[in-house]
């Protein structure tokens, strides 16, 4: 099972890398949809994001992924996300119009 999770974390060199495809789908479809659902249902910001993520990860636990493997994978992914945020900030941050 650890090997299977590991495959879900690492990019292959192909043009249609499954990791990139999953990330693109989340960024383009899931992130905006979750933000809109929170707003439209007057739910606190991040409530659906947090509980949605936990429920999805819960399915993995139900299907036999070990908790410590999941913790490790998630920690690795969050490290990557933090690195990307730091990179974006050094490159001037998100577009804020012309100054």
Q: How many residues bind Zn ion (CB under 5 A)?
A: 4
CA pair distance 82, 26, nearest whole angstrom: 17
Q: Which of 7, 8, 9, 11 is close enough to bind Zn ion by CB under 5 A?
A: 11
Determine if 19 is a binding residue for Zn ion (CB under 5 A): yes
1 binds Zn ion (CB under 5 A): no
CB of 50 to Zn ion, least distance (A): 26
Could you say which residues in the range 44-63 bind Zn ion, by CB under 5 A?
A: none
6: how many CB neighbours lie within 10 A of its CB?
Answer: 13
Q: Which of 1, 8, 9, 20 binds Zn ion (CB under 5 A)?
A: 20
Largest CA distance in the chain: 52
């Amino acid at each position: 099972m650890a090997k299977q999770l590991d495959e879900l974390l690492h990019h292959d060199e192909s043009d249609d890398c499954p990791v990139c495809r999953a990330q693109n789908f989340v960024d383009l479809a899931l992130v905006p949809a979750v933000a809109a659902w929170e707003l439209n249902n007057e739910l606190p910001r991040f409530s659906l994001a947090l509980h949605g993520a936990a429920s999805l990860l819960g399915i993995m636990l139900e299907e036999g992924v070990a908790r410590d493997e999941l913790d490790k994978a998630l920690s690795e992914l969050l490290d990557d996300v933090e690195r990307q945020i730091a990179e974006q900030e050094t490159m001037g941050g998100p577009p804020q119009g012309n100054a």
